Amino acid sequence: MTALELHPQTKAFLARTLGHFIAGQVAPSQGDKTSPVHDPGRGIELLRVPLGTQADVDRAVAAARAAFDTGPWRGMKPNMRTRVIWKFADLIEEHTQVLAELESINNGMPIGAAKIGHIGTSVDLLRYAAGWPTKLTGRTIPVSAPGEWHAYTLRDPVGVVAQIVPWNGPLMMAAWKLAPALASGCTIVLKPAEQTPLSAIYLAELAIEAGIPEGVFNVVLGGAEVGAALSAHPDVDKIAFTGSTAVGRAIAGAAAQANFTRVTRELGGKSPVIVFPDADLSAAIPAIAAGIFSGAGQICTAGSRLYVHEKAFDRVLEGVAEAAGKLSVGYGLDPATQMGPLISAAHLQRVAGMTENAVREGASVVTGAEAIEGGGYFYKPTILASLTPDSTIVREEVFGPVLSALRFNDDDLDAIAAEANGSAYGLAASIFTRDFSLAHRMAARVRAGTIGINRHFVGDSALPFGGFRQSGWGREKGEDMFNAYLETKAIAAPL
C-alpha cells in the first residue's frame, strides 16, 4: 500500500450505500434528498449521503427514547458499562488507520494529526470515561429537621441526548460528547456536520460491535434543518452542541421553546497568545506557529491573537513567519503534509475575504494572505500586523490560518489582561514567559476556559474544556463533563 492509497476497508466503506444509523442498523432516509460529501484536498465530490428529514429525526429520537426507558444500558451494572465502553475504545484504536483516512479525506486534516491528535485522544477520553460508571455516586446528607433522618442523593442520567457537532474534528467532537453520555447511562442521537458524516457512521457500527445496545447510539445525517429539528424536539432531554456562536444562540432559543431542554455549548473563540520579553523564544515560536496553523486554523482554540511585548515583537514575528514558510501545506493523506486545506470553497472565500478586508482596513501582510492554486481549498499560513485592538480581524473569528499580531509595551498585568480579555469570546489563551510567578498571576487575570503556560494547546482527557462568555456554557472532558449528563435526586426519610 503506498502512502496515498486507501486501506481496503476504507475503500469498501466508501463504496457502500451510507445512511442514518437508527436502532442498531443503517437506516434509509424517509426523504429522497441527498447531500454531497467532498474531499477538500482535491476539491471533488466523493459520494452523496441522505439528507435527513423530520421523520428521520423522529425515528432516531424514538429509538433513543425506547433504549433509555426500557433498554438495558442505564440498567447495566456500572462495571459492565465500563467494560463495554473500554471495548468501544479498543475497537476505535484497532480501526485507527481506516478512521484516520476517513477523517483525512473528508476534512482534509493531515493523516498523522488524525491518528494521534484526533483518534488517539478520543480513544484516551473514552477510556477515561470508562472508569467513571462505578464512581458516579450520590452523597449522604445530614438533615437539620427534628428527629432522625436518612437522606441521600442519587445521580440519574438525564435521558435522551442530542449531540450536534461541527466538521473541524468530526470524530473527536463526537467522542467528547459520546464519552460522558455513555458513561452516565444516557442514550444518544448524534448529528455530524453535513460536510463530514463518514466517521460518525463508522463509529456507530463499532459501538454495536463493542456491545452497546441497539438504540443507545443513533446517527441522523443532515445539516441545519436536521439540527434545528433535534433542537426543537420535545422528547430530547439535553442538547450538546459544538459549533458557531450564532448557531449556539439559535439552538438555545429553540431548546427553550421545546421543553426548556438543557443545552451545553462549545462555541467560537479568538484566543490570545501573550508573549513576555523573557520568554524562551526557541520554544515559544514553534508553539505559537502550531497554535494557529494546526488544523489550518480551523480549531476553536486557535491562538489567533498574538500579543508580544515590544522588546520581543520583531524576533517573534520573524520566527513565526519563518516557521509558516517552512510548513508543508498539502494533501492530508501525504505523510509529509503538516497543514491541509480549508473545509470548502465557500470557507476559503470567507477566509480570503476577511484577510482582504483587514488589508483594506490598514493591516500589513507579514506573510501569506493568498490562496494556493490547485485542486483543493488551500490557503497560505498568514500573519498580519499593523493592527489595533479594534481591527475587525482582531475581533472576529476567522477559523483559518490567519494570525493577527499586536504589540504591547505595558508592564501592568491588568492592562495586558484587559487587552487579552477584550473579546466577546473566552475559550483559550496562552502565556509565554520564564517567570512562573508572572505566568500564574497573568493566568488568574485572563478570562478563558483553558490557559496554557509556555504551550498553546493543553488538552488532556482529565482537564475540563469549555468557554467563558460567547465561547459557550458547560464543560466537556474531565470530571466536570458529567455535570450536564446527570440529574441529582434528593431522597429523605424520617427514621
* Chain positions contacting ligand NAD, by CB under 6 A: 164-168, 191, 193-194, 223-224, 227-228, 231, 242-244, 247, 250-251, 266-269, 300, 397, 399, 427, 467, 472
Closest approach of ligand NAD to the CB of residue 48, in Å: 16
- What per-residue string of b and e applies to 338-354 under the rule 16 or more CB within 10 Å gives b? bbbbbbbeebbeebbeb
Q: Please, which residue, 133 or 472, has the CB nearer to ligand NAD?
A: 472
Which of these is catalytic: 194, 214, 266, 397? Answer: 266
Cell readout for 302 is 486557535
Closest approach of ligand NAD to the CB of residue 180, in Å: 14
Closest approach of ligand NAD to the CB of residue 224, in Å: 3
Sign of torsion, CA 12 16 21 23? negative
Q: Please, which residue, 202 or 399, has the CB nearer to ligand NAD?
A: 399
Q: Please, which residue, 58 or 90, has the CB nearer to ligand NAD?
A: 58
Cell readout for 207 is 459501538
Distance CA 20, CA 278 (A): 54
Count of other CB atoms within 10 angstroms of residue 132: 20
* Active-site residue flag, 419: no
Distance CA 340, CA 331 (A): 6
- Tell me which H or E stretch contains 177: helix 170-184
Which of these is catalytic: 103, 194, 214, 300? Answer: 300
Closest approach of ligand NAD to the CB of residue 343, in Å: 8
The residue sitting closest to ligand NAD, measured at its beta carbon, is 227
Q: Please, which residue, 193 or 203, has the CB nearer to ligand NAD?
A: 193
Those residues with Cβ within 8 angstroms of residue 186's Cβ, 6 or more apart along the chain or in another chain: 68, 74, 157, 158, 159, 160, 161, 237, 238, 485
Distance CA 203, CA 174 (A): 9
- What per-residue string of b and e applies to 208-227 under the rule 16 or more CB within 10 Å gives b? bebebbbbbbbbbbbeeebb
* Active-site residue flag, 373: no
Q: Please, which residue, 121 or 168, has the CB nearer to ligand NAD?
A: 168
Closest approach of ligand NAD to the CB of residue 168, in Å: 5
Single-letter amino acid code for the residue at 326: K
What are the residue numbers of the active site? 266, 300
